[in-house]
Amino acid sequence: MTTKYETVIGLEVHVQLNTNSKIFCGCSTEFGKEPNENTCPVCLGLPGTLPVLNKKVVDYAIMAGLALNCDIAEYSKFDRKNYFYPDLPKAYQISQFDLPVAENGEIEIETEAGIFNIGVTRVHLEEDAGKLIHEGSIDKSKGSLVDYNRTGVPLIEIVSEPDMRTPAQAKAYLTELKMIMEYLDISDCNMEEGSLRCDANVSLRPVGQEEFGIKAELKNMNSFSAVEKGLEYEVKRQQELLDEGKKVVQETRTWDESLNKTISMRGKEEAHDYRYFPEPDLVPLEIDEAWKEEMQKEIPELPREKYKRFISELGLPEYDAGVLTGDKDLAVFFEEVLSDYDDPKNLSNWMMGEFLRLLNENGHSPFESGVSPINLAKMLKLIDQDIISGKIAKEVFEKMYNSGRDPETIVEEEGLKQISDQDELENIVDAIIEDNPDAVEDVENGKERAIGFLVGQVMKETRGKANPGLVNQMLRDKLMN
């Protein structure tokens, strides 16, 4: 990329809240039910029905606002956003226009290029729409079917300031938002299922110019990699236009995953006039200090704080801290083990190595495996106390993972205890020395590496149970004096 232009990116992120019931009626929000099973006269927008606000939804929005360092509105209201579409049963969406629940926040993100603060303009509440379904493909289908299960599922829309300068920053911001929502446990944040959705505004301006360039709005990026690829494509497209002396057109573009490019959807002229006005069926929302404080108490340590603490207090490398805090459950698991075990780095090695390998292989989340935090702590202590070797530990760990048994039982029942008794090893070591004269000669001629071979032979003979350090010492004593 040339340095002639500066990229300006802002994101609008929709997060589906994971409340049990919908925002304005008692219907379930459960995903994957039969079409239109989770509906009632209210969410179907039947004539005469009225919305009643689900308080839990406001709780979650306040939590999100607080976690994004926003000011929480004392007085907030709902508005109607009017447009016709078959998936929108009232032909308006209840949303928030000029008085959102939260405003003026910011979060810290980190990329390879450094640490950045990204402003959060606002967090507002709204209801989700339904889904159109087509038999076969949209082109071949004879008609459209509508599933209103998703109608009225609560959403928050988080609008960022145009503070991002690279697609990598945008991806990092989105990742940070996702982690924060997961730590708050207010959303499943699954981009593929649509519980996290992201639109982007992208523009370029000459370096040093304060005024923003003409922006394109980018939609339909359905994964984290699509966000990065879509933005990269769009930056390149605009840059080429400007290099050719052409103008960027203000428009909405959609990311086409199969073509790997963005395509124009509609121009500025076709933009909707949503005719927002205050929703007369709902009373304004008043959020007092007590409510805010109550929600503040619900907010756990957030990923960025945890990341920093893991580095500063636990002495973990940045990479380890990043991986462990990148998944809330992994971080929680890690800290639960630490309450019974006090070597964070050793624990981190185990979690990032064996544990993550097995979790990924099995498609498990941390608390879904047979390994409990307390059992992992016990196992690590068995290693530290020389009761099992690191090598045996891997075997024990895999058994724990698959069976849920505790490590002491496994070691006991399967006779996996490390042999650290010199008398017990004496005969085996002697036999190995006798059977490997060439290696013994090498050792005696000062080739230290041959010791490793002999240790390996003892380990093999004891099926890994011999204490390798002790064997090493014994061989040195016998051959090198």
Query: Which residues would be at the binding site for other proteins (CB under 8 A)?
Result: 41, 44-53, 80, 82, 84, 86, 89-92, 144, 146, 273, 275-277, 280-283
Q: Minimal distance in Å, beta carbon 82 to other proteins?
A: 5
What is the DSSP track for 421-462? Answer: -HHHHHHHHHHHHHH-HHHHHHHHTT-THHHHHHHHHHHHHT
Q: Minimal distance in Å, beta carbon 93 to other proteins?
A: 11
The DSSP secondary-structure symbol of 28 reads B
Q: Minimal distance in Å, beta carbon 143 to other proteins?
A: 10
Q: Minimal distance in Å, beta carbon 19 to other proteins?
A: 18
Q: Minimal distance in Å, beta carbon 338 to other proteins?
A: 47
What gap in Å lies between CA 339 and CA 349, rounded to an integer? 17
What gap in Å lies between CA 94 and CA 82, rounded to an integer? 9
Residue closer to other proteins by CB (options 38, 418) is 38
Q: Please list the residues that pair with 158 across neighbouring strands.
A: 13, 123
Residue closer to other proteins by CB (options 263, 271) is 271
Residues composing the chain: 481
Q: Minimal distance in Å, beta carbon 277 to other proteins?
A: 5
What gap in Å lies between CA 178 and CA 68, rounded to an integer? 12
Q: Where are the alpha helices (DSSP H) in 156-288?
A: 167-184, 224-243
What gap in Å lies between CA 92 and CA 90, rounded to an integer? 5
Residue closer to other proteins by CB (options 91, 113) is 91
**Beta-carbon count within 10 A of 163 CB:** 20
What gap in Å lies between CA 245 and CA 441, rounded to an integer? 78
Residue closer to other proteins by CB (options 46, 249) is 46
Half-sphere exposure in the Cβ direction for 330 (13 Å, CA): 25
Residue closer to other proteins by CB (options 50, 207) is 50
What gap in Å lies between CA 322 and CA 305, rounded to an integer? 11
The label of the residue with tokens 């966000």 reads 227
Q: Minimal distance in Å, beta carbon 80 to other proteins?
A: 5
Instruction: For residue 464, give the 3-state DSSP assignment.
Output: coil
The DSSP secondary-structure symbol of 419 reads B
Q: Minimal distance in Å, beta carbon 90 to other proteins?
A: 5
Q: Minimal distance in Å, beta carbon 85 to other proteins?
A: 8
Helices 468-479 and 437-444: angle between axes, nearest 10 degrees: 70
What gap in Å lies between CA 172 and CA 266, rounded to an integer? 28
Residue closer to other proteins by CB (options 132, 374) is 132
